[in-house]
Structure 1
Amino acid sequence: MGAAEVEKVSALVPHLLTIPHKKIWVEYDEEADVLYVNFKRPSRADDSELTDDDIIIRREKGEVVGMTFLNVAKRFGTKNRA
């Protein structure tokens, strides 16, 4: 990881500290262009909601346990960040 990548990840830290979850797992599926963010492992969502801006909010017993962001690179213009 080069200096530019370290700087990008470091810029996320203030935002991550404001999230009310102590553990966060993130996975990006480049082929599907989907970003998965989980706050609980394993999460067994029993409800989900698709927002108008292509975000699936997953809940377990009313608590948000994860979010799925669809069309991430297309929406944020970050395709192939190497």
Structure 2
Amino acid sequence: MRKEVQFHYDREADVLYLSVGKPQKAKTLEIGDDFVLRLHPKSGQVIGLTIINFAKHFPQLRTGRSDFPANGSFNAARLFEQALSVQLQ
């Protein structure tokens, strides 16, 4: 079953919240400095990712706008994988 990925960027706190499907309560797993996976409390499946200091980790996405383009479809697992690879460098 395909689920939408929702995001919210808090510019003041510089935090990006990504949720697979509707945001919900979750267990958290810190996977490194500034990266937190959100896991379904029963299944353990990844249901979200929080990136603290987002602009520091992804300066190429900075624009003068309050948001960035989010049209189209993308693979959430790939996005999480990319975030992890940036964190591990």
The CA deviation string for residues 35-65 of structure 1, in whole angstroms up to 9 with x for no partner, is 00001314121x2111124211011121111
Q: How does 1:61-72 map to 2 (within 5 A)?
A: 61=42, 62-72=44-54
After the TM superposition, which segments of 4 or more aligned residues of structure 1 sit over 3 Å from their partners?
Answer: none
Residue in 1 that maps onto 2:58: 76
Q: Are 1:56 and 2:39 matched, yes or no?
A: no
Distance 1:79 1:32 in 2: 16
Could you say what secondary structure the match of 1:74 adopts? helix
Equivalenced residue count is 62
Q: CA deviation at 1:78?
A: 4.7
The reply to whether residue 37 of structure 1 matches residue 37 of structure 2 is no
d(CA) in 1 for partners of 2:2 and 2:38?
14
Identity %: 37
TM-score by length of 1: 0.64
Stretch moving more, 47-56 or 66-75 = 47-56
* Structure 2 gap ranges (5+): 65-89
User: Equivalents in 2 of 1:22, 1:43: separation in Å?
Assistant: 14
* C-alpha deviation, 1:22, in angstroms: 2.3
Largest Rg, 1 or 2? 1
Find the aligned partners of 2:13 and 2:53 in 1 and give their Cα distance: 8
